[in-house]
Amino acid sequence: MKHWLIMAGATVTLAIAPAPAFAAAATDALAPEVTTLAPNKFLWNDDATLGPVSIVISIPDQKAYVYRGEILIGASTVSTGKDGKDTPLGTFPILQKSEVHKSNLYDSAPMPFMQRLTWDGVAIHAGMNPGFPASHGCIRVPTAFARNLFGVTSKGTPVLVTDASAAEGWVPPTAADAALLDPMAP
């Protein structure tokens, strides 16, 4: 199926593939739109009738992939943790959301559209997005993408942070996967 997506102001046509076929799609139907996204660029096409949202962050791809059910609805470049400040791997529920947030750890640095993944400071938020690991462990995304993502998630939305590339394939996480973690109050 074909969908219209918005990429930082430009409209492109993109084939959306179910997750089990995503590995092939990343090299076929979705290429080059997703695989060649330039830093600070994204694709987005949400159909709220498709099911619950889940997110996959691929550290080697430096990309975020957003699903509704098994349908890819968005993709963006990201900037994850630099050496020594690595972004943790695993499946995390979104623990807290704040549209206007400032870092408690780094001189009150702005973290717009913050979605907390760990109580020790790892979050998805808008920020500098050079397309390579440059953060203190957070997952930085383009501001417009962060706004869209913030609008479709809720507390408990599952986020898989993986060291697998899209070419290797994965299945989007479910709320049950995220519930395996027992998020304790800070």
Q: Which residues of 135-170 are buried (b: 16+ CB within 10 A; e: fewer)?
A: bbbbbbbbebbbebbbebbeeebbbbbbebbbeeeb
Q: What is the pLDDT of residue 57?
A: 96
Is the torsion defined by CA of 144, 158, 128, 43 positive or negative? negative
Report how far apart the first and last C-alpha atoms of the chain are (Å, whole number). 44
Spatial strand order in the sheet of 63-68: 42-44, 71-77, 63-68, 53-58, 158-162, 90-93
Distance separating alpha carbons of residues 126 and 181, to the nearest angstrom: 25
Q: Report the pLDDT value the prediction gives residue 28, as an integer from 0 to 100.
A: 34
Distance CA(132)–CA(141), nearest Å, equals 11
For the domain covering 2-163, report its CATH number: 2.40.440.10
pLDDT of residue 17: 39
pLDDT value of residue 54: 94
Structure tokens at 52: 């619950």
Which is nearest to 77 in space by CA: 132, 4, 27, 115? 132
Q: Which residues contact 155 (CB under 8 A, 6 or more apart)?
A: 93, 94, 95, 96, 97
Tokens representing 90 are 């695993």
User: Is residue 113 classed as helix, strand or coil in its secondary structure?
Assistant: coil
pTM listed for this prediction: 0.79
Angstrom distance (rounded) from CA 108 to CA 121: 13
Q: Mean pLDDT per 10-residue run, the chain (186 residues)? A: 40 39 37 80 84 94 92 93 94 91 63 90 92 90 96 95 87 69 45
